[in-house]
Every structure is written in structure tokens, then in C-alpha cells.
Structure 1
Amino acid sequence: MRMGTRWDSGAEPPASVPALLHEQIAAVDATVTLSGVQPKPRWTLTWLEGRPVAELETGAVVRQDRDGQVVVGHVDALED
């Protein structure tokens, strides 16, 4: 079993967040910074079928799909 974690938008992702997600997490964080949302929303890392899923409280999701690709979207619109 893998444990998830939480961190603030704009902060460095914890070591448990796979490096392959970092670039897209930073891209989503940049949009939050530009929007001036306060307080900063938090990310939650979970694992679905062994693949990482990072979800921001705004509904933005950065995850690894079945093919190993990083997918960015919204929680209401993503399908695997």
C-alpha cells in the first residue's frame, strides 16, 4: 500500500510525489498564482491502481494514465 500526502499549491511537492508529475503540477500552480486565489488550495496525492493522482482542491487533476503518460484535466472531465 502506498501512502498519499498533502501540500500547498505553489510549494515544492513532497519527495513522495513522483517526479514525472512535477512539471504539470507546477504549470497548474502557476495558474493559481496568476488568479490570486487566497488562501492557496492544497494538493492531495493518492494512488489509483498503482498510478499517482494529484488533485488540487479546485478540481484540477494531474495523473499518470494507463499508458504512463501524464494527463492534466478536471476531476469532472477525466476518464481513463
Structure 2
Amino acid sequence: MQLGTRWGLGDEPPARLAENVIAAIREVEAEIGERQGWRWTLTWLESRPVVELDDGTTIRQGHDGTATIEQVD
């Protein structure tokens, strides 16, 4: 696993992310609304992005390029 970067909820995600991953990030942000101080963390696993929000919500890009959202109950 390789650490990427962190950015605030609602801020611009890293440009190197695929459009479908950015769309998934925007979908989650629209669903949960504004949360003061929450941040996203980008890491890379097997050269694919894994984006995790402070509440544990995770977006992963699969081998086929699809982005999936995993939300914690």
C-alpha cells in the first residue's frame, strides 16, 4: 500500500483520480452533506486508488475500472 494524500470534504480531489472515482466521491459528499473537519485519505493498493472518509466510507477502483462505495453501518 502506498500513501497518497489527504484533502477536506468538499475540496477538490487529486486530479490523478479517474473521473468515475471523483464522481463517487461527489456522490458521497452530496449524500452526507457538510461535516466540519472531515477529510478524505487517498492510498494506492496494487496501483489502484482507495479513498477513505473519516467515518470509514471507502471508495475503491476495481480491476475493471469500476468505482464501488462501501459505507459503514
Bin of the TM-score, shorter chain as denominator length = 0.7 to 0.9
Counterpart of 1:4 in 2: which secondary structure?
Answer: strand
Measured in 2, the distance between the counterparts of 1:40 and 1:19 equals 25
Question: Structure 1 regions of 5+ residues with no counterpart?
Answer: none
| Structure 2 residue 5 is the aligned partner of structure 1 residue 5 | yes
RMSD: 2.2
Work out whether residues 5 and 16 of structure 1, in 8 Å CA contact, stay in contact via their aligned partners in 2: no
The one of 63, 68, 72 equivalent to 1:66 is 63
Measured in 2, the distance between the counterparts of 1:66 and 1:52 equals 11
Larger radius of gyration: 1
**Counterpart of 1:57?**
54
TM-score w.r.t. length of structure 1:
0.75
Work out whether residues 17 and 45 of structure 1, in 8 Å CA contact, stay in contact via their aligned partners in 2: no
Classify 1:19/1:3 alpha carbon distance in 2 versus 1 (closer, same or farther; 3 Å).
farther
Work out whether residues 10 and 30 of structure 1, in 8 Å CA contact, stay in contact via their aligned partners in 2: no
| Equivalent pairs, count | 73
TM-score w.r.t. length of structure 2:
0.81
Measured in 2, the distance between the counterparts of 1:3 and 1:18 equals 17
1:32-62 CA distance string (max 9 Å, x none): 21xx53x141001110111111110111111
Classify 1:32/1:40 alpha carbon distance in 2 versus 1 (closer, same or farther; 3 Å).
farther
